[in-house]
Structure 1
Protein backbone atom coordinates (compact mmCIF):
# COMPACT_ATOMS: atom_id res chain seq x y z
CA UNK A 1 0.00 0.00 0.00
CA UNK A 2 1.34 3.41 -1.03
CA UNK A 3 1.85 6.03 1.68
CA UNK A 4 1.48 9.79 1.34
CA UNK A 5 5.20 10.13 2.11
CA UNK A 6 6.14 7.71 -0.70
CA UNK A 7 3.92 9.58 -3.15
CA UNK A 8 5.53 12.86 -2.10
CA UNK A 9 8.97 11.34 -2.76
CA UNK A 10 7.93 10.12 -6.22
CA UNK A 11 6.73 13.60 -7.15
CA UNK A 12 9.81 15.35 -5.74
CA UNK A 13 12.20 12.93 -7.47
CA UNK A 14 10.51 13.34 -10.85
CA UNK A 15 9.78 17.05 -10.92
CA UNK A 16 11.72 20.08 -9.68
CA UNK A 17 9.63 21.21 -6.71
CA UNK A 18 9.85 24.06 -4.24
CA UNK A 19 7.11 22.59 -2.05
CA UNK A 20 5.06 19.37 -1.97
CA UNK A 21 2.41 18.37 0.56
CA UNK A 22 0.57 15.08 0.20
CA UNK A 23 -2.29 13.89 2.40
CA UNK A 24 -4.02 10.54 2.32
CA UNK A 25 -4.43 7.76 4.80
CA UNK A 26 -6.08 4.92 2.91
CA UNK A 27 -3.28 4.19 0.45
CA UNK A 28 -5.35 4.95 -2.67
CA UNK A 29 -6.90 8.42 -2.35
CA UNK A 30 -4.59 11.40 -2.04
CA UNK A 31 -4.64 15.19 -2.01
CA UNK A 32 -1.53 17.13 -3.02
CA UNK A 33 -0.29 20.70 -3.13
CA UNK A 34 2.61 20.98 -5.57
CA UNK A 35 4.73 24.06 -6.24
CA UNK A 36 7.12 23.77 -9.18
CA UNK A 37 8.97 26.12 -11.51
CA UNK A 38 8.22 23.55 -14.24
CA UNK A 39 4.62 24.84 -14.22
CA UNK A 40 5.68 28.31 -15.37
CA UNK A 41 3.83 29.38 -18.53
CA UNK A 42 1.58 26.31 -18.53
CA UNK A 43 -2.14 25.91 -17.92
CA UNK A 44 -3.45 23.95 -14.94
CA UNK A 45 -4.24 20.94 -17.12
CA UNK A 46 -0.61 20.88 -18.26
CA UNK A 47 0.55 21.04 -14.62
CA UNK A 48 -1.51 17.95 -13.87
CA UNK A 49 -0.24 16.17 -16.97
CA UNK A 50 3.35 16.77 -15.82
CA UNK A 51 2.57 15.19 -12.44
CA UNK A 52 0.72 12.27 -14.03
CA UNK A 53 3.73 11.73 -16.30
CA UNK A 54 6.03 11.54 -13.28
CA UNK A 55 3.75 9.01 -11.57
CA UNK A 56 3.34 6.91 -14.71
CA UNK A 57 1.74 3.51 -14.20
CA UNK A 58 1.25 4.18 -10.48
CA UNK A 59 -1.78 6.28 -11.49
CA UNK A 60 -3.49 3.14 -12.78
CA UNK A 61 -2.16 0.56 -10.35
CA UNK A 62 -1.55 2.06 -6.90
CA UNK A 63 -3.36 5.41 -6.91
CA UNK A 64 -7.12 5.41 -7.28
CA UNK A 65 -7.58 9.18 -6.95
CA UNK A 66 -5.26 12.16 -6.75
CA UNK A 67 -6.67 15.63 -6.17
CA UNK A 68 -4.07 18.30 -6.94
CA UNK A 69 -3.61 21.99 -6.37
CA UNK A 70 -0.65 23.13 -8.45
CA UNK A 71 1.18 26.44 -8.37
CA UNK A 72 4.21 28.15 -9.82
CA UNK A 73 6.51 29.60 -7.13
CA UNK A 74 5.13 33.06 -7.92
CA UNK A 75 1.52 31.91 -7.56
CA UNK A 76 2.38 30.11 -4.33
CA UNK A 77 3.99 33.21 -2.81
CA UNK A 78 0.64 34.98 -3.23
CA UNK A 79 -1.22 32.10 -1.52
CA UNK A 80 0.83 32.08 1.67
Structure 2
Protein backbone atom coordinates (compact mmCIF):
# COMPACT_ATOMS: atom_id res chain seq x y z
CA UNK A 1 0.00 0.00 0.00
CA UNK A 2 1.22 3.49 -0.81
CA UNK A 3 0.89 6.46 1.52
CA UNK A 4 0.22 10.15 0.89
CA UNK A 5 3.18 12.52 1.31
CA UNK A 6 1.42 15.73 0.24
CA UNK A 7 -1.85 16.99 -1.16
CA UNK A 8 -2.41 19.05 -4.30
CA UNK A 9 -5.35 21.37 -3.67
CA UNK A 10 -7.96 21.37 -6.44
CA UNK A 11 -11.20 23.27 -7.06
CA UNK A 12 -14.54 21.63 -6.28
CA UNK A 13 -15.24 21.05 -9.96
CA UNK A 14 -18.00 18.52 -10.65
CA UNK A 15 -18.08 17.00 -7.15
CA UNK A 16 -21.60 16.34 -5.84
CA UNK A 17 -22.94 15.92 -2.29
CA UNK A 18 -22.88 12.41 -0.82
CA UNK A 19 -26.29 11.07 0.24
CA UNK A 20 -25.05 8.64 2.89
CA UNK A 21 -22.72 9.02 5.85
CA UNK A 22 -20.57 6.13 7.10
CA UNK A 23 -18.23 5.50 10.01
CA UNK A 24 -14.51 5.09 9.65
CA UNK A 25 -11.68 3.66 11.72
CA UNK A 26 -8.63 5.76 12.56
CA UNK A 27 -5.42 3.84 13.28
CA UNK A 28 -2.20 5.40 14.58
CA UNK A 29 0.70 3.39 13.10
CA UNK A 30 4.35 3.28 14.13
CA UNK A 31 6.78 1.17 12.10
CA UNK A 32 10.18 1.43 13.79
CA UNK A 33 9.73 5.18 14.36
CA UNK A 34 8.04 5.92 11.01
CA UNK A 35 4.61 7.17 12.04
CA UNK A 36 1.44 7.29 9.97
CA UNK A 37 -2.27 7.93 10.41
CA UNK A 38 -4.52 5.49 8.56
CA UNK A 39 -8.26 5.85 7.91
CA UNK A 40 -10.25 2.74 6.95
CA UNK A 41 -13.86 2.61 5.77
CA UNK A 42 -16.16 -0.37 5.37
CA UNK A 43 -18.54 1.21 2.86
CA UNK A 44 -22.27 1.72 3.10
CA UNK A 45 -24.78 -0.48 4.90
CA UNK A 46 -26.23 -1.37 1.47
CA UNK A 47 -23.19 -3.44 0.50
CA UNK A 48 -23.42 -7.22 0.33
CA UNK A 49 -20.55 -7.53 2.82
CA UNK A 50 -21.14 -4.60 5.17
CA UNK A 51 -18.08 -5.17 7.38
CA UNK A 52 -15.63 -5.68 4.50
CA UNK A 53 -12.98 -2.97 4.27
CA UNK A 54 -13.71 -0.71 1.35
CA UNK A 55 -10.98 1.92 1.30
CA UNK A 56 -7.99 3.00 3.30
CA UNK A 57 -5.92 6.16 3.26
CA UNK A 58 -2.54 6.38 4.95
CA UNK A 59 -0.83 9.73 5.66
CA UNK A 60 2.70 10.46 6.74
CA UNK A 61 3.34 13.32 9.18
CA UNK A 62 3.79 16.00 6.50
CA UNK A 63 0.53 15.08 4.74
CA UNK A 64 -1.35 14.91 8.04
CA UNK A 65 -0.13 18.37 9.07
CA UNK A 66 -1.04 19.74 5.63
CA UNK A 67 -4.52 18.21 5.90
CA UNK A 68 -5.04 19.73 9.37
CA UNK A 69 -3.93 23.16 8.13
CA UNK A 70 -6.16 23.01 5.04
CA UNK A 71 -9.11 21.70 7.07
CA UNK A 72 -8.79 24.45 9.68
CA UNK A 73 -8.77 27.06 6.93
CA UNK A 74 -11.70 25.52 5.05
CA UNK A 75 -13.92 25.19 8.14
CA UNK A 76 -12.96 28.66 9.46
CA UNK A 77 -11.24 27.32 12.57
CA UNK A 78 -8.04 29.40 12.32
CA UNK A 79 -7.75 31.76 15.28
TM-score interval w.r.t. the shorter chain? under 0.3
Report which of the two has the higher share of helix.
1
Q: Bigger radius of gyration, 1 or 2?
A: 2
- TM, length-normalised to structure 1: 0.27
Give the TM-score normalised by structure 2: 0.27
